[in-house]
């Protein structure tokens, strides 16, 4: 049962089998009940026909009785003496009822205690001479007709003859046709049920196989992509707009996102290697010169290269943590207090940082990461400002807004999104930097997004960080 097709076929077969068994059982029960009722009705018709003859005053010896093998009839008086019996009827329920048994006493068949409806003397007592009781009683029993014993459905009707004497007429209808019919239907069901289940299983297998054929195509293509590591390939998309079609389209979207992520990672590794190569090569050269000629060692330059390496390594480590989905700590951070503290710790800035409006507003997140965003924005402004850098914090509805702007040339409209890509540095006047690797703004935006906010360029040189206010 490892195959979906096998499980589907087995499940459908079991469900259909249970349904057919329940339906077949109900049909057999209804058919048997109807046929028994029909046999009882035939027996009642025969009993009332004989009772009507008695009520009209016909002598018992001249009664027109049906053939015993069709409807065995026994007529008995109130004391159980047999007054008339159908041709060929020898016994009822094992008790002889032939002509020789007339007057056999109250033990005759006319007083059977297990007739359906019970004793009805009170009802018959209300009959007048020549009347037939409207009530009828039914019971199942056996009758011996010409030496053949069979099962019958008996109808018992009571009447009074023209002299006012009560008699009991018992007529039977054979149950063999009913049982033969039920048996034939049961046999047909037992033969047809397995064949129908085979058909159901086969059709379910074929339909499921056809429905799952696109899935097998998707699986095969995914296996080939895994083996070849070629993420540019795509799985086949069926023309149908069902769940399998949506699965194929979603799989292709996932492959496209994975391809983009892998390509981005490759570019990141390549760019990081390039950025690391320059300071490492410079530092190595200075150290080798220092070993050979100690008097020529440029210690400040070596320290500067080391600091640059340290910052680049820290940036790469933070980006790796952000890419891995690290969630920021959820502490309350007062942006105005953070701006004051970070500004007080900055020394050696080329352009002094002025503080604008500072509204005390708290956000939830990582204090160190948000401080890193502010530091990166101020560093970016310092590289491009002419004479002024300003920072402000305001509140706009449910958003806390931190703005950093400078009086530099501004970012061209067409480049306002590209500057947030990793290792991107513009070629115009705003790209004059002192060795930045092009990671600061990328890190700032990633941190903003991880905190449920955004970072964008407004009005050329205004960088706006928007974060949701802490609850």
C-beta separation of 395 from 434 below 8 A: no
Model's pTM, two decimal places? 0.50
In a domain, 129, yes or no: yes
**Domain stop point among 195, 229, 263:** 229
In a domain, 126, yes or no: yes
What's the confidence (pLDDT) of residue 112? Answer: 38
Give the domain CATH number at 310. Answer: 1.10.287
In a domain, 238, yes or no: no
Q: Residue 311 burial by CB count (10 A; 0-12/13-18/19+): exposed, middle or buried?
A: middle
311 and 339 belong to one structural domain: no
335 and 303 belong to one structural domain: no
464 and 354 belong to one structural domain: yes
In a domain, 63, yes or no: yes
316 and 347 belong to one structural domain: no
313 and 335 belong to one structural domain: no
279 and 345 belong to one structural domain: no
Tally of structural domains, the chain: 3
187 and 289 belong to one structural domain: no
What's the confidence (pLDDT) of residue 322? Answer: 78
In a domain, 430, yes or no: yes
349 and 408 belong to one structural domain: yes
Give the domain CATH number at 415. Answer: 3.30.565.10
pLDDT along the chain (471 residues), means of 10: 78 91 92 91 92 89 84 89 89 77 38 42 64 91 89 92 89 91 91 91 88 85 85 84 85 88 78 76 82 79 80 80 77 93 88 90 92 91 89 94 91 85 61 58 90 89 93 79
What's the confidence (pLDDT) of residue 449? Answer: 92
Give the range of the structural domain holding residue 261, as residue numbers without chain letter: 243-320
Report CA 115 to chain centroid distance, whole Å. Answer: 58
The dihedral of CA 421, 273, 306, 426: what is its sign?
Answer: negative
Residue keyed to tokens 């015993």: 68
In a domain, 235, yes or no: no
User: Which of 270, 268, 376 lies closest to 316 in space, CA to CA?
Assistant: 268
The whole-angstrom separation of Cα 3 and Cα 6 is 5
203 and 346 belong to one structural domain: no
User: Which of 2, 50, 45 lies closest to 167 in space, CA to CA?
Assistant: 50
145 and 72 belong to one structural domain: yes
């Amino acid at each position: 049962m490892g195959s979906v097709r096998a499980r589907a076929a087995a499940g459908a077969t079991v469900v259909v089998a249970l349904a057919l068994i329940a339906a077949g059982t109900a049909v057999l029960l209804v058919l048997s009940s109807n046929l028994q009722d029909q046999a009882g009705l035939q027996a009642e018709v025969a009993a009332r026909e004989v009772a009507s003859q008695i009520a009209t005053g016909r002598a018992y010896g001249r009664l027109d009785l049906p053939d015993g093998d069709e409807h065995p009839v026994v007529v008995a008086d109130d004391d159980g003496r047999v007054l008339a019996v159908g041709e060929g009827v020898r016994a009822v329920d094992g008790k002889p009822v032939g002509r020789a048994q007339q007057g056999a006493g109250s033990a005759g068949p006319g007083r059977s205690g297990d007739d359906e409806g019970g004793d009805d003397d009170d009802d018959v007592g209300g009959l007048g001479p020549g009347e037939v009781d409207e009530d009828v009683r039914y019971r199942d029993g056996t009758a011996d007709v010409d030496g053949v014993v069979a099962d019958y459905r008996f109808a018992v009707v009571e009447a009074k003859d023209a002299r006012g004497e009560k008699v009991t007429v018992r007529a039977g209808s054979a149950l063999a046709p009913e049982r033969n019919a039920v048996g034939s239907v049961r046999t047909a069901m037992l033969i047809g049920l397995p064949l129908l289940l085979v058909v159901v299983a086969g059709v379910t297998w074929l339909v499921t196989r056809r429905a799952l054929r696109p899935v097998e195509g998707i699986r095969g293509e995914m296996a080939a992509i895994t083996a070849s590591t070629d993420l540019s390939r795509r799985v086949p998309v069926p023309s149908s707009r069902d769940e399998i079609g949506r699965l194929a389209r979603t799989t292709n979207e996932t492959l496209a996102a994975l391809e983009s992520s892998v390509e981005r990672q490759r570019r990141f590794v390549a760019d990081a290697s390039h950025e690391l190569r320059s300071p490492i090569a410079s530092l190595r050269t200075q150290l080798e010169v220092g070993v050979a000629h100690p008097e020529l060692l440029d210690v400040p330059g070596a320290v500067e290269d080391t600091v640059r390496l340290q910052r680049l390594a820290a940036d790469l480590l933070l980006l790796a943590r952000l890419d891995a989905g690290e969630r920021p700590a959820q502490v309350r951070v007062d942006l105005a207090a953070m701006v004051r503290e970070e500004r007080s710790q900055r020394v050696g800035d080329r352009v002094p940082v002025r503080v604008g409006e500072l509204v005390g507003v708290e956000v939830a997140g990582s204090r160190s990461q948000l401080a890193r965003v502010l530091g990166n924005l101020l560093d970016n402004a310092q590289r491009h400002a002419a004479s002024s850098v300003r920072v402000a914090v305001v509140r706009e509805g449910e958003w806390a807004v931190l703005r950093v702007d400078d009086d530099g040339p501004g970012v061209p409209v067409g480049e306002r999104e590209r500057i947030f890509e990793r290792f991107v540095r513009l070629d115009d006047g705003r790209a004059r930097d002192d060795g930045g690797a092009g990671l600061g703004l990328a890190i700032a935006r990633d941190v903003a997004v991880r905190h449920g906010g955004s970072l964008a360029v407004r009005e050329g040189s205004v960088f706006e960080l928007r974060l949701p206010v802490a609850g």
